């Protein structure tokens, strides 16, 4: 069967998308907005996976629209079998699930988070223009108001090439925000380029007076990804372990390298979608990894007969790995549909890893010995850390009510209502204690900068007093023992100054939560307080304004009047009433919820921010300092 206009199967119209956008793009916030871009790009990447496209350009236009152009085959433009009066292009753009991937024929393997296709983007755009080059012509069609076609498809010229160009203006009446954030797009597009070896992805932001451009193309594929993730760390051995196997209609692609750090960074993908909840492919990989290393260590006498086997967690300490599988009918399960359910993938990945990794170790005895020795050290540190944890637990039982002395706890014992404010400095801590509602707001003052957990061994970290106080106050344990259901507060709010030091302290705290209590972050329990930057007294009234933008707007609204704004330099400058009214009172404050949508990207950001590489950190901060949302990864 010719795969063309006829292969497009039709399921339903676009109204459901506008009625329940969350079902299709996850949320109507920033993550949903960026999802629209990925949905279009995914279609172009599918063309690349089918061997039909080598270049994708993503451009944010000066007026805020997003344009995605590829050199694939172009969306079919002929009349559609099931809709005699409509072109296939119109059907693809206005009918859910009509992307051409559902007929069985056509794409062997395709990505896309929900596989709903580019029509969802149309449904959520106030305007969308599509141009296709195909069959010697250039064709155009425009839609407005969430997918209403303006006339019919028109042939607007000749063309000797093929490809698709989609330009869309997100609909601000449905999406909470329509401003694309360049850094978010850059990170995800770079990730897509790593995952699709040899595909060129260009990103251009034309909003600034001097447009910014990035070109991503990685001939090394996921090996380059691992090199990139480890670039801000110190590699334990120079080579990157990598192997790729075609299995049936799919493939398994693995690259890995250990670094001298203490955290595990295994990032798995299925059809280019991040499987942050793991799944069968990851299970198979971990099982084989533990097996291969123990066998190798015993065979080479690096592990003595009377010694215990190395545990998986010992072996994975400091490991950066990318595991990317492609398969025909991926089953996504789990709370966020980010867990691969296909059972056959477990044995396929396990078998490939058992064979190819064992072979690699045989061929690289010098690296092999270094890696096994690192795992041995991790095992000894694990035993020491357990002892330190036990000591923390015993010590906290001896103290009054088991809680740290500095904690001003709340009286409520209902975690859903309870909030913990982590406050920098004793003076701000004092104001916060006066301003709080003691029934459900607890205050934990911390002194200055807490330990950087990115660079400390787990047993050393557990001996740190501020860290101990945090663990005890939250009450849910730490690391592998962490139990979300024991968390004593469902809002944990980092309250620090709006200056550079304050943002460093906040980043140290977030690093600690992300590395040691990732479930807490994923559950959405972690927040940053947003103290205002300005105070303006007008007559009898006092106004608090959160940033320069708000101050400018306020001055614009009161342009008859003389305004003398006071700038807060830190939390300590506010009296307790002010702190309460602006930052703590539930009725008047704003909180920023910390989210982690992509663990590989978050891992990268934290390594850069907190790791050894000073230059990388400086560059990152210079690029992101102006954007207050940067902590919202
Ligand atoms: C349906 C069928 C074919 C390609 C496409 C859709 C297609 C969609 C998009 C969206 C963005 N870029 C795209 N490129 C292609 C197959 C066409 C054929 O067999 O020639």
What's the confidence (pLDDT) of residue 7?
A: 43
What's the confidence (pLDDT) of residue 106?
A: 41
Note whether 552 and 590 are same-domain residues.
no
Note whether 363 and 307 are same-domain residues.
yes
Is the beta carbon of 344 within 6 A of some atom in ligand 1? no
What's the confidence (pLDDT) of residue 386?
A: 81
Supply the residue whose CA is at minimum distance from atom 1 of ligand 1.
100
Q: How far is the CA of 16 from the centre of ligand 1 (A)?
A: 24
What's the confidence (pLDDT) of residue 515?
A: 86
Q: Which of 100, 129, 136, 201 to mutate to test the pocket of ligand 1 (most atoms within 8 A of CB)?
A: 100
The token duo for 237 is: 């051995």
Q: How far is the CA of 74 from the centre of ligand 1 (A)?
A: 5
Catalytic residue among 499, 537, 575, 577: 499
pLDDT at 500 over 90: no
Is the beta carbon of 603 within 6 A of some atom in ligand 1? no
Range of the structural domain that residue 540 is part of: 534-567
How many CA atoms lie less than 13 Å away from 308 in the CB half-sphere?
9
Give the whole-angstrom CA distance, residue 122 versus residue 482: 43
Note whether 183 and 241 are same-domain residues.
no
Q: How far is the CA of 2 from the centre of ligand 1 (A)?
A: 13
Structural domain count, the chain: 4
Looking at residues 136-164, what average pLDDT do you find? 96
Note whether 182 and 268 are same-domain residues.
no
Structure confidence by residue, pLDDT tens digits, 154-176: 999 999 999 999 999 999 999 99
Is the beta carbon of 118 within 6 A of some atom in ligand 1? yes
Is the beta carbon of 76 within 6 A of some atom in ligand 1? yes
Residue 100 lies in a domain: yes
Do the beta carbons of residue 50 and residue 40 sit within 8 Å? no
Ligand 1 atom closest to the CA of 3, numbered from 1: 19
Note whether 146 and 46 are same-domain residues.
yes
What's the confidence (pLDDT) of residue 99?
A: 54
Residue 4 lies in a domain: no
Selection from 63, 272, 29 nearest residue 167 by Cα: 63
Q: How far is the CA of 37 from the centre of ligand 1 (A)?
A: 17
The token duo for 535 is: 């105070």
Structure confidence by residue, pLDDT tens digits, 511-533: 899 889 989 998 989 998 888 88
Residue 10 lies in a domain: no
Supply the residue whose CA is at minimum distance from atom 13 of ligand 1.
44
Selection from 316, 34, 73 nearest residue 187 by Cα: 34
Is the beta carbon of 70 within 6 A of some atom in ligand 1? yes
Note whether 210 and 227 are same-domain residues.
no
The token duo for 280 is: 């069968």
pLDDT at 474 over 70: yes
Supply the residue whose CA is at minimum distance from atom 18 of ligand 1.
4
What is the pLDDT of the chain when averaged over all its residues? Answer: 87
Q: How far is the CA of 12 from the centre of ligand 1 (A)?
A: 19
Looking at residues 63-76, what average pLDDT do you find? 97
- What's the sign of the alpha-carbon dihedral 550, 553, 555, 558? negative
Structure confidence by residue, pLDDT tens digits, 298-341: 999 999 999 999 999 999 999 999 999 999 888 988 877 889 99
Note whether 265 and 340 are same-domain residues.
yes
Is the beta carbon of 89 within 6 A of some atom in ligand 1? no
Report the Cα 406 to chain-centroid distance in Å: 34
Q: How far is the CA of 47 from the centre of ligand 1 (A)?
A: 7
What's the confidence (pLDDT) of residue 67?
A: 98
What's the confidence (pLDDT) of residue 11?
A: 41
Do the beta carbons of residue 184 and residue 86 sit within 8 Å? no
Is the beta carbon of 112 within 6 A of some atom in ligand 1? no
Q: Which CATH number characterizes residue 440's domain? A: 3.40.50.670
Residue 368 lies in a domain: yes
Do the beta carbons of residue 372 and residue 236 sit within 8 Å? no
Is the beta carbon of 100 within 6 A of some atom in ligand 1? yes
When comparing pLDDT for 603 and 470, which is higher? Answer: 470
Is the beta carbon of 73 within 6 A of some atom in ligand 1? yes
Note whether 554 and 501 are same-domain residues.
no
Selection from 437, 412, 432 nearest residue 421 by Cα: 432
Note whether 358 and 278 are same-domain residues.
yes
pLDDT at 449 over 90: no
Is the beta carbon of 119 within 6 A of some atom in ligand 1? no
Q: How far is the CA of 24 from the centre of ligand 1 (A)?
A: 21
Q: Which residue has the tokens 């927040």?
A: 527
Looking at residues 441-446, what average pLDDT do you find? 95
Q: How far is the CA of 148 from the centre of ligand 1 (A)?
A: 21
pLDDT at 204 over 90: yes
Residue 77 lies in a domain: yes
* DSSP element (H, E) containing 538: strand 534-538
The token duo for 36 is: 């629209």
Note whether 459 and 419 are same-domain residues.
yes
Say whether 519 is catalytic. Answer: no
Supply the residue whose CA is at minimum distance from atom 10 of ligand 1.
43
How much is the pTM?
0.78
SS3 content of the chain, % helix, strand, coil (to 5): 40, 20, 40
Boundary-marking domain end, from 169, 191, 216? 216
What's the confidence (pLDDT) of residue 609?
A: 65
Question: What DSSP string describes 122-144?
Answer: HHTEEEEEEEEEETTEEEEEEEE
When comparing pLDDT for 628 and 376, which is higher? Answer: 376
Selection from 274, 269, 233, 239 nearest residue 254 by Cα: 269
Note whether 118 and 131 are same-domain residues.
yes
Neighbours of 298 (CB within 10 A): 16
- Residue ranges in 73-168 assigned as alpha helix (H): 88-94, 119-123
Neighbours of 70 (CB within 10 A): 28
What's the confidence (pLDDT) of residue 631?
A: 37
Give the whole-angstrom CA distance, residue 166 versus residue 99: 14
The token duo for 364 is: 């690289």
Residue 389 lies in a domain: no
Q: Which residue has the tokens 């750090």?
A: 261
Do the beta carbons of residue 140 and residue 130 sit within 8 Å? yes
Q: How far is the CA of 71 from the centre of ligand 1 (A)?
A: 10
Residue 420 lies in a domain: yes
Supply the residue whose CA is at minimum distance from atom 6 of ligand 1.
75
Q: Which three-class secondary structure state does DSSP give residue 371?
A: helix
Q: Which of 2, 36, 46, 120 to mutate to test the pocket of ligand 1 (most atoms within 8 A of CB)?
A: 46
Say whether 367 is catalytic. Answer: no
Ligand 1 atom closest to the CA of 40, numbered from 1: 11
Boundary-marking domain end, from 319, 346, 381? 381
Looking at residues 21-25, what average pLDDT do you find? 88
Is the beta carbon of 250 within 6 A of some atom in ligand 1? no
When comparing pLDDT for 492 and 502, which is higher? Answer: 492
Range name among 11-20, 69-78, 109-118, 317-326 with the lowest pLDDT average? 109-118
Give the whole-angstrom CA distance, residue 484 versus residue 474: 10
Say whether 85 is catalytic. Answer: no
Boundary-marking domain end, from 381, 416, 450? 381
Question: Backbone phi, then psi, for 2, in 5-degree steps?
Answer: -70, 130
Say whether 499 is catalytic. Answer: yes
- Cα distances from 317 to residues 312, 410, 437, 539, in angstroms, run 9, 38, 42, 61
Is the beta carbon of 4 within 6 A of some atom in ligand 1? yes
Report the Cα 375 to chain-centroid distance in Å: 28
Selection from 436, 413, 411 nearest residue 423 by Cα: 436
Catalytic residue among 42, 90, 367, 424: 424
Looking at residues 568-581, what average pLDDT do you find? 86
The token duo for 465 is: 């007093």
Q: Which CATH number characterizes residue 323's domain? A: 3.30.230.10
Q: How far is the CA of 408 from the centre of ligand 1 (A)?
A: 61
Note whether 29 and 177 are same-domain residues.
yes
Structure confidence by residue, pLDDT tens digits, 279-289: 999 999 999 99
Selection from 560, 583, 278, 596 nearest residue 435 by Cα: 583
Give the whole-angstrom CA distance, residue 371 versus residue 373: 5
Supply the residue whose CA is at minimum distance from atom 20 of ligand 1.
73
What's the confidence (pLDDT) of residue 621?
A: 56
What's the confidence (pLDDT) of residue 599?
A: 62
Catalytic residue among 135, 501, 575, 577: 501
Do the beta carbons of residue 483 and residue 477 sit within 8 Å? yes
Is the beta carbon of 3 within 6 A of some atom in ligand 1? yes
Give the whole-angstrom CA distance, residue 554 versus residue 552: 5
Q: Which CATH number characterizes residue 193's domain? A: 3.30.565.10
Range name among 97-111, 408-422, 458-472 with the lowest pLDDT average? 97-111
Q: How far is the CA of 101 from the centre of ligand 1 (A)?
A: 9
Range name among 26-30, 434-438, 454-458 with the lowest pLDDT average? 454-458
Give the whole-angstrom CA distance, residue 42 versus residue 22: 19
- Tell me what percent of the residues of the chain surpass a pLDDT of 90: 58
Q: How far is the CA of 195 from the centre of ligand 1 (A)?
A: 20
What's the confidence (pLDDT) of residue 79?
A: 87
What's the confidence (pLDDT) of residue 450?
A: 81
Supply the residue whose CA is at minimum distance from atom 2 of ligand 1.
100
Is the beta carbon of 494 within 6 A of some atom in ligand 1? no
The token duo for 626 is: 């102006």
Give the whole-angstrom CA distance, residue 581 versus residue 314: 48
Is the beta carbon of 57 within 6 A of some atom in ligand 1? no
Supply the residue whose CA is at minimum distance from atom 14 of ligand 1.
74
Range name among 25-29, 40-44, 486-490 with the lowest pLDDT average? 25-29
What's the confidence (pLDDT) of residue 1?
A: 35
What's the confidence (pLDDT) of residue 116?
A: 62
Residue 336 lies in a domain: yes
Catalytic residue among 283, 350, 497, 598: 497
């Amino acid at each position: 069967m010719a795969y063309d206009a006829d292969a497009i199967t039709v399921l339903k119209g676009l109204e459901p998308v506008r009625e329940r956008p969350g079902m299709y793009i996850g949320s109507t916030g920033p993550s949903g907005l960026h999802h629209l871009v990925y949905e279009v790009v995914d279609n172009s990447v599918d063309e690349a996976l089918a061997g039909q496209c080598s270049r994708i350009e993503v451009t944010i236009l000066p007026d805020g629209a997003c344009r995605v152009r590829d050199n694939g085959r172009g969306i079919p433009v002929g009349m559609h079998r099931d809709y005699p009066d409509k072109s296939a292009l119109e059907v693809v753009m206005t009918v859910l699930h009509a992307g051409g991937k559902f007929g069985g024929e056509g794409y062997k393997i395709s990505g896309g988070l929900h596989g709903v296709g580019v029509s969802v983007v149309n449904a959520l755009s106030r305007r969308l223009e599509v141009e296709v080059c195909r069959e010697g012509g250039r064709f155009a069609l425009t839609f407005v108001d969430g997918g209403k076609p303006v006339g019919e498809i028109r042939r607007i010229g000749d063309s000797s090439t093929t490809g698709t160009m989609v330009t869309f203006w997100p609909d601000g009446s449905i999406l909470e925000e329509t401003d694309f954030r360049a850094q978010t797009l850059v990170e995800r597009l770079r990730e897509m380029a790593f995952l699709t070896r040899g595909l060129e992805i260009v990103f251009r932001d034309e909003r600034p007076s001097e447009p910014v451009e990035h070109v991503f193309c990685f001939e090394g594929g996921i090996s380059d990804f691992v090199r990139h993730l480890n670039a801000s760390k110190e590699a334990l051995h120079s080579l990157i372990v990598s192997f790729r196997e075609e299995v049936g209609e799919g493939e398994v692609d693995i690259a890995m390298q250990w670094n001298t750090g203490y955290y595990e960074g295994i990032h798995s993908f299925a059809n280019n979608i991040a499987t942050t909840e793991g799944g069968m492919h990851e299970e198979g990989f971990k099982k084989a990894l533990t097996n291969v290393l123990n066998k190798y260590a015993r065979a080479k006498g690096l592990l003595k007969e009377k010694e215990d086997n190395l545990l998986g967690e010992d072996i994975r300490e400091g490991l950066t790995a990318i595991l990317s599988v492609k398969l025909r009918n991926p089953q996504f399960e789990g709370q966020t549909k980010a867990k691969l359910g296909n059972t056959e993938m477990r044995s396929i990945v396990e078998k490939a890893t058992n064979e190819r990794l064992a072979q690699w170790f045989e061929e690289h005895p010098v690296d092999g010995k270094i890696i096994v020795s690192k795992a041995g050290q991790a095992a000894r540190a694990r035993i020491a850390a357990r002892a330190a944890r036990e000591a923390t637990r015993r010590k906290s039982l001896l103290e009054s009510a088991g809680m740290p002395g500095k904690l001003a706890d709340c009286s409520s014992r209902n975690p859903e209502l309870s909030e913990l404010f982590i406050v920098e400095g004793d003076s701000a801590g004092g104001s916060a204690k006066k301003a709080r509602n003691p029934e459900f707001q607890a205050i934990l003052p911390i002194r200055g900068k807490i330990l950087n957990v990115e660079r400390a061994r787990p047993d050393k970290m557990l001996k740190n007093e501020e860290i101990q106080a945090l663990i005890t106050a939250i009450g849910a344990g730490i690391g592998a023992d962490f139990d979300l259901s024991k968390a004593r507060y469902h809002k944990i709010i980092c309250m620090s100054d709006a200056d550079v030091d304050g943002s460093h302290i906040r980043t140290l705290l977030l690093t600690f939560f992300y590395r040691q209590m990732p479930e807490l972050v994923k559950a959405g329990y972690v927040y940053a307080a947003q103290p205002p930057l300005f105070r303006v007294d007008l007559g009898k009234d006092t106004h608090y304004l959160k940033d320069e933008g708000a101050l400018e707007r306020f001055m614009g609204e009161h342009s008859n009047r003389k305004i003398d704004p006071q700038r807060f330099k830190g939390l300590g400058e506010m009296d307790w009433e002010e702190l309460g009214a602006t930052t703590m009172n539930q009725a008047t404050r704003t909180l920023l919820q910390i989210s982690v949508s992509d663990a590989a990207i978050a891992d990268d950001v934290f390594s850069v921010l907190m790791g050894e590489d000073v230059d990388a950190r400086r560059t990152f901060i210079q690029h992101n300092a102006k954007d207050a949302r940067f902590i919202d990864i």
